[in-house]
Amino acid sequence: MAIIDVSDLRKSYGGRAVVDGVSFSVEEGEIFGVLGPNGAGKTTTVECLAGLRTPDGGDIRVAGLDPHSDRSALKQRLGVQLQSAVLPDKLKVGEALDLYASFYDHPADWAALMDRVGLGGKRNTPFAKLSGGQKQRLSIALALIGDPRVAILDELTTGLDPQARRDTWGLIEEVRASGVTIVLVTHFMEEAERLCDRIAVIDSGRVVAVDTPAGLVARVGEEQRITFRIGDGDDGGAVESALKELPEVTGVTRSGGRFAVSGADSQDGSASLVLAVSTTLAAHRVAPLDLRIDRATLDDAFLALTGKPIDS
């Protein structure tokens, strides 16, 4: 059952279309990713969802409400963590949670929420003294303080170190498990692939695809790439010729003793590229070194859908 419906959303600034006919729906209980490069229109889209910006056109429903005309009612059902959200340096964690709780008719128990996000020992710590990861945990807590049905999290882990980022991912998964629907705005492929049930890929203000992470990757194809090197005493020429004869192989490149073999398994599963390459190497008494198998990734899917890498 869709808890968010967006149809033909449009927003322009100075005559330039930032959001140009965006449409998607979000099912209740899922983590829905909005993925795209900086400047793609992601933040403007979710700010329209939250009622923070007025669209130029289109229709939005969040929990059955119009974010513009039903803004007060929606505030009680929606939690938002914006990319640029900051707090006064001297405001303490407990004070921030208590303040935000006062904005809602039926807020969550902020003391319990503080413990839940791992800030139980930081109640009297000023915002300026928190680490980057702790600030993001506080941002999540503030987004949840109204006990919302939907939470919008915008570029939540930007600027965090790898460990803090993974800790934050774990917290997001816990929030979803509690029954909150999450709209996650990100430009991190690994984040989207790990967390999201479905993803809307946005580029230049338009949705170019909506699918599961695996579904997006499948659009690229099932091609694999096997890289390895052979020993100095092995016959590289004979190995190269044999590999090129395999029906599963679409390409072989060789640089000295280093090989890169591309290809795919058969559609019915009767032929395996890895098995074919391994068998051929064994037949030539070659033990591959530094063997690596790569498959298409979400980065590959984004490049195929938009024609450019996400960090362009």
Query: Given a cut of 70, is residue 269 above it in pLDDT?
Result: no
Q: Give the domain ranges of the chain.
A: 2-218, 222-295
As a whole number, the mean pLDDT across the chain is 91
Q: Considering the domain 222-295 in this protein, what is its CATH number?
A: 3.30.70.980
Helix H, strand E, coil C: the string for 63-88 is CCECCCCCHHHHHCCEEEECCCCCCC
pLDDT in tens, 118-156: 999 999 999 999 998 899 899 999 999 999 999 999 988
Exposure string over 162-200, b if 16+ CB within 10 A, otherwise e: eebbebbbebbeebbeeebbbbbbbbbbbbbbebbebbb
Can you tell me the mean pLDDT for 185-211?
Answer: 93
Tell me what pLDDT residue 285 has.
94
Chain Cα centroid distance, residue 196: 6
Residue 198 has φ and ψ, to the nearest 5°, of: -140, 160
Find out whether 142 and 175 touch, Cβ atoms under 8 Å. Answer: no
Give the pair of three-digit tokens for residue 175.
């929030």
Matching CATH topology for 2-218 and 222-295?
no
Give the chain's count of helices (H) and strands (E).
11, 13
pLDDT in tens, 26-80: 999 999 999 988 889 999 999 999 999 999 999 999 999 999 999 999 999 999 9
CATH domain 2-218 topology: Rossmann fold (3.40.50)
pLDDT in tens, 271-307: 688 999 999 999 999 999 999 998 888 888 888 888 8
270 — pLDDT class (breaks 50, 70, 90): low
Dihedral angle over CA of 54, 59, 64, 67, nearest 10: 0
Give the C-alpha separation, 249 to 262, whole Å.
Answer: 6
**Long-range CB contacts for residues 238-241, cutoff 8 Å, separation at least 24:** 238/284, 239/280, 239/281, 239/284, 239/286
